[in-house]
């Protein structure tokens, strides 16, 4: 049985936080629980002693917004949309990146160089700007209203964000695949007649698999940041409800995901700071948890590589450092002159 170290503890704590938050959010939404609301606070004699927004206190641990909604439950309601969307988009992006990256690693052609040069530009162009220009016609409600349903907008937005985030990961996987294929044991397997399918199953995938678990939480962080940036551009997940008549409220989201909550409450930062900082706090904790998972997996991978290298060195030097035996000697017949 393997002993747990600090990397196992870090991964477990961070993963537990995300699982509990998403699970609690799903239960809260599936049971149709309503967000507690306290707009006016009375004392025992029915006298008004305060009105919303209430700052964090013993009665309101995370405070309330200006409508009196308790912020913790508001954040809890939006957790399944924010983290769930990030998981779905990241999974789709991961599949695209894996297929393109592995095929690129096996390919040697001019088209590959051209594609890699094109994909490299995504390292320098802000992906949020690309996402804004691609998704504005889809998510911003026109004057005549949406012609698409909420589900359709979510699907197309998820596909678009997956395509935007896939190129940088595909380049990474392509380079990793190419390095594995350039190793001596893979070259020997190719010389002995190993097909590309055989090389992928027996050599590339086993060496690539540990790094795939590290890549996925990093893609999730990337997707969460893009969703947050789009929220501050007022392009909310699933569409932005826009009113064009007189005395209209500001653009609003269709679901209470975290990016929309932070975007709409940003103006409260100097007046009622907790209305913005509470959802920002949970968003930052989620990012830190995903970072902790990635760092923990990287630490475990490095430890495994050190163990493997130490075993190889020990096995290579075993004959030199060990005791000489009879089997280590070879009888050489030099011949005798008669």
The partner residues of 37 in beta bridges, in order of sequence, read: 69
Q: How much of the chain is in helix, strand and coil states, percent to nearest 5? A: 70, 5, 25
pLDDT at residue 335, rounded to an integer = 52
Cα 85 from chain centroid (whole Å): 10
Domain range list for the chain: 81-303
Distance CA 194, CA 102 (A): 17
> For 81-303, CATH number?
1.10.3720.10
Side-chain half-sphere CA neighbours of 88 within 13 A? 14
Residue 275 in contact with residue 268, Cβ under 8 Å?
Answer: yes
Residue 56 in contact with residue 274, Cβ under 8 Å?
Answer: yes
Distance CA 180, CA 148 (A): 45
Task: Report residue 323: phi and psi, to 5°.
Answer: -80, 140
Residue 309: how many CB atoms within 10 A of its CB? Answer: 10
DSSP string, 81-117: HHHHHHHHHHHHHHHHHHHHHHHHHH--SHHHHHHHH
Cα angle 162, 165, 169; round to 5:
115
Weakly modelled stretches of the chain, pLDDT under 70: 1-3, 109-112, 308-338
Residues 6+ away with beta carbon under 8 Å from 87? 220
Residue 141 in contact with residue 240, Cβ under 8 Å?
Answer: yes
For 248-292, what is each residue's pLDDT tens digit?
888 999 988 999 999 999 888 888 999 999 999 999 999 999 999
Joined together, the tokens standing for residue 315 give 């096995």
């Amino acid at each position: 049985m393997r002993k747990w170290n600090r990397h196992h503890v870090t991964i477990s704590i961070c993963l537990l936080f995300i699982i509990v938050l998403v699970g609690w959010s799903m239960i809260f939404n599936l049971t149709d629980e309503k967000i507690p609301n306290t707009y006016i606070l009375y004392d025992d004699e029915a006298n008004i002693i305060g009105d919303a927004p209430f700052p964090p206190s013993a009665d309101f641990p995370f405070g309330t917004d200006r409508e009196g909604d308790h912020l913790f439950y508001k954040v809890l309601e939006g957790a399944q949309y924010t983290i769930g969307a990030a998981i779905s988009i990241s999974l789709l992006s991961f599949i695209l990146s894996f297929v393109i990256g592995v095929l690129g690693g096996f390919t040697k052609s001019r088209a590959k160089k051209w594609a890699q040069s094109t994909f490299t530009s995504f390292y320098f162009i802000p992906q949020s700007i690309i996402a804004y220009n691609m998704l504005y016609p889809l998510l911003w409600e026109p004057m005549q209203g949406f012609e698409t349903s909420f589900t359709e907008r979510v699907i197309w937005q998820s596909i678009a964000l997956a395509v935007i985030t896939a190129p940088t990961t595909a380049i990474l996987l392509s380079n990793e695949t190419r390095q594995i294929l350039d190793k001596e044991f893979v070259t020997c397997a190719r010389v002995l007649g190993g097909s590309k399918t055989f090389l992928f199953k027996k050599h590339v995938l086993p060496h690539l698999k540990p790094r795939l678990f590290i890549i996925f939480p990093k893609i999730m962080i990337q997707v969460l940041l893009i969703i947050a940036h789009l929220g501050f551009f007022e392009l909310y997940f699933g569409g932005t409800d826009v009113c064009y008549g007189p005395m209209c409220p500001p653009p609003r989201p269709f679901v209470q995901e975290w990016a929309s909550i932070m975007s709409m409450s940003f103006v409260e930062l100097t007046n009622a700071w907790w209305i913005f900082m509470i959802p920002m706090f949970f968003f930052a904790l989620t990012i830190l948890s995903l970072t902790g998972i990635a760092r923990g997996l990287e630490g475990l991978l490095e430890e495994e590589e050190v163990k493997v290298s130490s075993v190889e060195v020990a096995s290579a030097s075993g004959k030199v450092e060990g005791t000489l035996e009879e089997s280590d000697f070879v009888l050489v017949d030099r011949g005798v002159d008669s």
